[in-house]
């Protein structure tokens, strides 16, 4: 029998946690033959709620679930961790400036990065979901100097999946027929969902949407970028199940690989590709194989795409400068 994989989830008692844990325990994160130990990190007042979730996990009698640890201690939570899903974060509240938001999250992701550095397994893989995800990931990464930088990633897979769904609808094909979509830049309203490299129903993506530039600019790009706000307005609560699903997809693809001829989008430490400044955590088109990923190289970037990528990257650079000024990295 295989040794269980240690999976740490922060913010485990939150709404994404609730949509995430049962799928991890049933084998959707790593594979239907991989047993897991769950480590649930919460802030002290939410420990009781986390215990309630753990009771429900017990009640599912999942064959793959070996052990559950519930803690508010970072070193316990990340002890021997193989996969860390950093979900809990400080949300933006009314009147909060960007600097306040970044400082509050620095107080969470800095110590978590250090605890990962000091306690996690050698093969640690980190996905940051909690917003602002890219810069939180950067803070954690920079506080974990002994961990290879590429192990820290930020989630843009929800944006990627949203873009795939919108393209499939527009072109009248199934989502399986939508390939090579890219989310560039920040997981924020400045992100750029790129259809120009995509293949939709076997055709060039732009052609498959009827070469409809107006639809692209006025509907598709804002639809994907602002979908989170739309969900809040319509559902009355922020996206949780789709966010959890995207986190599962992100790690599953990272571990198990992208399909031949396709790629995915991940926020990763830039190596300078496509003119994105080295060191910031930006979303790129990536292929994955055997637990490693590579940025897809050689794509032709039009002026239209370039301007949008640059705008989102400029926002990331500003966030990086701000956390640097605050001494968080």
Q: Give catalytic residues, as residue numbers.
A: 187
105 annotated to bind ligand = yes
Q: Which of 142, 148, 152, 153 is nearest to 329 (CA)?
A: 142
Pick the piece of the chain touching ligand NAI (CB under 6 A) from 40-48, 189-197, 281-289, 321-329: 40-48
Closest to ligand NAI by CB, 52 or 63:
52
Q: Which of 127, 235, 143, 245 is nearest to 187 (CA)?
A: 127
Place of tokens 């490299």: 197
Residue choice 54, 108, 139, 140 for contact with ligand NAI (CB under 6 A): 108
Contact 19, 244 (CB under 8 A): yes
**Residue 240 burial class via C-beta count within 10 angstroms: exposed 0-12, middle 13-18, buried 19 and up:** middle
The DSSP 8-state label assigned to residue 41 in this structure reads E
SS3 assignment, position 185: strand
**10 scored as a contact of ligand NAI (CB under 6 A):** yes
Write down the least CB distance from residue 27 to ligand NAI, Å. 22
306 annotated to bind ligand = no
Q: Which of 112, 149, 118 is nearest to 293 (CA)?
A: 149
Contact 285, 295 (CB under 8 A): yes
Residue choice 21, 25, 30, 41 for contact with ligand NAI (CB under 6 A): 41
Q: Report the residue number whose CB is nearest to ligand NAI.
A: 14
Angle at which helices 303-325 and 133-142 cross, to 10°: 50
**155 scored as a contact of ligand NAI (CB under 6 A):** yes
The DSSP 8-state label assigned to residue 212 in this structure reads -
213 annotated to bind ligand = no
What is the contact mask toward ligand NAI in residues 67 to 106, using x (rule: CB under 6 A)?
--------------------xxx-x---------------
Query: CB under 8 Å to 220, separation ≥6 — which residues?
Result: 163, 166, 167, 170, 193, 195, 209
Residue choice 9, 13, 126, 200 for contact with ligand NAI (CB under 6 A): 13
**16 scored as a contact of ligand NAI (CB under 6 A):** yes
**Residue 172 burial class via C-beta count within 10 angstroms: exposed 0-12, middle 13-18, buried 19 and up:** exposed
Kindly determine how many residues on this chain lie close enough to bind ligand NAI according to the rule CB under 6 A.
27
Residue choice 2, 3, 31, 43 for contact with ligand NAI (CB under 6 A): 43
Write down the least CB distance from residue 130 to ligand NAI, Å. 4
280 annotated to bind ligand = no
Write down the least CB distance from residue 300 to ligand NAI, Å. 28
| Footprint on residues 285-324 left by ligand NAI (CB under 6 A) | none
Query: CB under 8 Å to 26, separation ≥6 — which residues?
Result: 60, 62, 64
What is the contact mask toward ligand NAI in residues 242 to 281, using x (rule: CB under 6 A)?
-x--------------------------------------
**208 scored as a contact of ligand NAI (CB under 6 A):** no
Q: Which of 262, 263, 277, 271 is nearest to 310 (CA)?
A: 277
Contact 11, 17 (CB under 8 A): yes
Pick the piece of the chain touching ligand NAI (CB under 6 A) from 28-36, 174-182, 190-198, 238-246: 238-246
Annotated binding site for substrate: 92, 98, 131, 162
Residues at the contact surface with ligand NAI, assessed by CB under 6 A: 10-11, 13-17, 41-43, 46, 87-89, 91, 108, 129-131, 133, 155, 158, 187, 238-240, 243
| Sequence ranges of the binding site | 11-17, 92, 98, 105, 112, 129-131, 162
């Amino acid at each position: 029998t295989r040794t269980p994989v240690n999976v740490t989830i922060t913010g485990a008692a939150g709404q994404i946690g609730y949509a995430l844990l049962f799928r991890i325990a049933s084998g959707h994160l790593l594979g239907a033959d991989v047993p897991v130990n769950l480590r649930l990190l919460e802030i002290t007042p939410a420990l009781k709620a986390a215990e309630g979730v753990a009771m429900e996990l017990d009640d599912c009698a999942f064959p793959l679930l070996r052990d559950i640890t519930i803690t508010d201690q970072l070193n316990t939570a990340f002890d021997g961790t193989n996969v860390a899903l950093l979900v809990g974060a400080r949300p933006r509240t009314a009147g909060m400036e960007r600097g306040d938001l970044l400082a509050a999250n620095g107080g969470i992701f800095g110590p978590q990065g250090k605890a990962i550095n000091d306690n996690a397994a050698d093969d640690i893989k980190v996905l940051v979901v909690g917003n602002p995800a890219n810069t939180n990931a950067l803070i954690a990464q920079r506080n974990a100097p002994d961990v290879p930088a590429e192990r820290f990633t930020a989630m843009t897979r929800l944006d990627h999946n949203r873009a795939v769904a919108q393209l499939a609808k527009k072109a009248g094909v199934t989502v399986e027929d939508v390939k090579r979509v890219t989310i560039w830049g920040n997981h924020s309203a400045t992100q750029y969902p790129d259809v120009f490299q995509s293949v939709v129903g076997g055709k060039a993506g732009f052609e498959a949407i009827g070469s409809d530039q107006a639809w692209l600019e006025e509907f598709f790009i804002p639809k994907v970028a602002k979908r989170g706000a739309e969900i809040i307005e319509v559902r009355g609560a922020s996206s949780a199940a789709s966010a959890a699903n995207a986190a599962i997809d992100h790690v599953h693809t990272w571990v198990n690989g992208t399909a031949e001829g396709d790629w995915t989008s991940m926020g990763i430490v830039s190596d300078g590709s496509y003119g994105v400044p080295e060191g910031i955590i930006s979303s790129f088109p990536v292929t994955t194989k055997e637990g490693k990923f590579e940025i897809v190289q050689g794509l032709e970037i039009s002026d239209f795409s370039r301007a949008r990528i640059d705008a989102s990257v400029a926002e990331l650079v500003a966030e990086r400068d701000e956390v640097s000024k605050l001494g968080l990295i």
